[in-house]
């Protein structure tokens, strides 16, 4: 029998840690460049997916989003004092021993965003590695419960120890009608996972393009 997971975040804890995070991230990264911040919905639930190249990624996204969210993390990250802090801002374990998908569906039904790093691990080789199926499972579970989640794709790139570039793509709807034509559940899951991988990969390409530099100059 799977164990239920309890949401430990509150307005007080989220407000405190988000303010602390702002001080820390802005102190470390003197150049915090974001293109497309307006693409993050100001209200309602959505799924945010991103590449994962540093332990700073979660803190960077927290400062970029500027709103409370639920963060899927490794179970190992939720141990001890660190675990208490992470749970206080909405972290939950990527662990099937818990009622993971039901928990996420509950958060979605309350209009809360969910953040997932689908690569699962940190990769620093400059490529977007194959995605694990967690993000796709969340979307399909939400769909089964009558909740069609918008997907926001983000790419993060660290220029040096004091500079970070972030690009936030416009929210998109999943083409569930196309997916529902795939009868085999595992193939449907694989197709959606590949689609999500493509979205983040395109966002990373935007970071490396001249357009990013031009847009950055326009907002600077």
- pLDDT for position 98: 83
**What band does 217 get if pLDDT is binned at 50, 70 and 90?**
low
Range of the domain at 114: 11-215
| Number of structural domains in the chain | 1
Per the domain annotation, does 26 fall within a domain? yes
Within a domain: residue 3?
A: no
Share of the chain above pLDDT 90, in %: 82
Residue 134: inside a domain: yes
pLDDT in tens, 129-170: 999 999 999 999 999 989 889 999 999 999 999 999 999 999
DSSP string, 145-186: TT---EEEEEEEEEEETTEEEEEEPPPEE--HHHHHT--SHH
pLDDT averaged over the chain? 92
Judge contact between 69 and 40, C-beta under 8 A.
Answer: no
Give mean pLDDT, residues 118-137: 95
Q: Looking at residue 84, what is its pLDDT?
A: 93
Query: Rounded to 5 degrees, what angle do the CA atoms 13, 152, 155 make?
Result: 90
Q: Are 27 and 114 in contact (CB under 8 A)?
A: no
DSSP state of 209: S
Res 183 pLDDT > 80: yes
pLDDT, average across residues 14-19: 96
Length of the chain counted residue by residue: 220
Q: Is residue 49 in some structural domain?
A: yes
Q: Confirm whether 1 is domain-assigned.
A: no
How remote is the C-alpha of 113 from its chain's centroid? 9
Q: Does residue 6 fall inside a structural domain?
A: no
CB atoms within 10 A of CB 69: 21
Question: Would residue 77 count as lying in a domain?
Answer: yes
Instruction: Decide which of 50 and 204 is more confident.
Output: 50
Q: Give the range with max mean pLDDT: 73-77, 116-120, 123-127.
A: 116-120
CATH code, domain carrying 44: 3.40.1130.10
Q: Please check the confidence at residue 215 and state whether its pLDDT lies above 70.
A: no
Task: Quote the percentage of the chain above a pLDDT of 70.
Answer: 94
User: pLDDT tens digits, residue range 18-74?
Assistant: 999 999 999 999 999 999 999 999 999 999 999 999 999 999 999 999 999 999 999
Element (H, E) at 31: strand 31-35
- Residue-level pLDDT at 11: 94
- SS3 state at 5: coil
pLDDT in tens, 92-102: 999 878 888 88
Domain assignment present for residue 2? The answer is no
């Amino acid at each position: 029998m799977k164990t239920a997971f309890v949401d430990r975040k509150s307005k007080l804890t989220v407000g405190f840690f988000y303010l602390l995070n702002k001080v820390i991230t802005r102190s470390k990264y003197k150049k915090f460049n974001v293109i497309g911040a307006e693409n993050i919905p100001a209200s309602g639930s959505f799924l945010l997916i991103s590449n994962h190249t540093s332990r700073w990624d979660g803190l960077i996204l927290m400062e970029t989003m500027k709103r409370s969210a639920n963060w899927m993390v490794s179970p190992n990250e939720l141990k001890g004092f660190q675990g208490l802090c992470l749970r206080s801002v909405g972290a939950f374990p990527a662990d099937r021993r818990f009622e993971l998908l039901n928990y996420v569906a509950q958060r979605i039904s309350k209009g809360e965003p969910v953040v997932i790093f689908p690569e699962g691990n940190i990769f620093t080789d400059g490529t977007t590695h194959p995605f694990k199926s967690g993000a796709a499972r969340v979307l399909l579970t939400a769909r089964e419960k009558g909740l069609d989640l918008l997907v926001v794709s983000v790419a993060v790139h660290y220029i040096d120890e004091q500079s970070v570039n972030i690009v936030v793509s416009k929210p998109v709807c999943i083409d569930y009608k196309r997916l529902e034509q795939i009868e085999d559940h595992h193939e449907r899951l694989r197709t959606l996972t590949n689609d999500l991988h493509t979205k983040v990969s395109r966002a990373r390409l935007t970071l490396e393009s001249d357009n990013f530099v031009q847009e950055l100059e326009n907002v600077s």
